[in-house]
Structure 1
């Protein structure tokens, strides 16, 4: 089998997916509005404080995540592609121009009445991917984040949207 560019990235990527029991328009919307994002973004025990937010291609989300131990993590996201309600691509680092920023593509696929979200993250190097997994527990953190998203959209549905 011939190698493709996608295959070459496998040692630099993390892929996390989850089926969320909500229509994909709602799951997608949870990513588009800061009032939603601040309610569920980040692993368990983390809170998110937004400094600036503009959801558009080229727009930025400048925020701080506070860990359960009180540590603040400066975060920055810029959206590179937005295709409602199917796909969002973004660049994520500590700040604009971060040489270690990584790319993430989120896809939202209908799965019956539910939505399968797939979060594919590609790091600049294998070493940065390994550090994210080992030091920052990126896989477990990503799973927890999608778990918080699932709980949040379930609450939105229960409360009538």
Structure 2
């Protein structure tokens, strides 16, 4: 098991980047790697401690392939921090019952935002695909924030 850490600079202020993670309309527009989309009607998000984030990523080429996300927020600081836990016990070969995701939003010079995403524990065998998936998603987010 490993810890997946991704740092990305977005050319947008922190509050706009944060909002892209908690606003259902924006989330539907960028979440999921290229080739996958998130139907707006699948998103239910309540960004507060104890609140939930539910959505379903659907493969564009084969809609029968889907990947549901059902997480609970454990810590939320508006425009600064989102921490969620997801039950992953149903995923074969994951090797853990719970995946914790921490997203930090930091101010950078020039009105930009440094995002630090950490997911753990993470199976080493799945890290490369997850890193590529986030990178692909963040490329879509860049376009929305532009």
TM score, norm. by length of structure 1: 0.76
Alignment partners' CA distance in 1, 2:132 and 2:9: 16
Alignment partners' CA distance in 2, 1:115 and 1:87: 13
1:63-74 matched pairs, under 5 angstroms: 63-70=55-62, 71-74=65-68
Change (3 A) 1:85 1:56: same
Which of 132, 141, 146 in structure 2 is aligned with 1:149?
141
- Partner of 1:117 in structure 2? 115
Superposition RMSD in Å: 2.2
Alignment partners' CA distance in 1, 2:35 and 2:82: 25
More strand by share: 2
Alignment partners' CA distance in 1, 2:97 and 2:138: 23
Which of 101, 104, 108 in structure 1 is aligned with 2:101?
104
TM score, norm. by length of structure 2: 0.83
**Unmatched tracts of structure 2, length 5 or more:** none
Change (3 A) 1:110 1:38: same
**Unmatched tracts of structure 1, length 5 or more:** 1-10, 155-161
Q: Which secondary structure state, in structure 1, belongs to the residue aligned with residue 79 of structure 2?
A: coil
How many residue pairs were aligned?
137
Alignment partners' CA distance in 1, 2:24 and 2:89: 18
Which of 45, 48, 59 in structure 2 is aligned with 1:53?
45
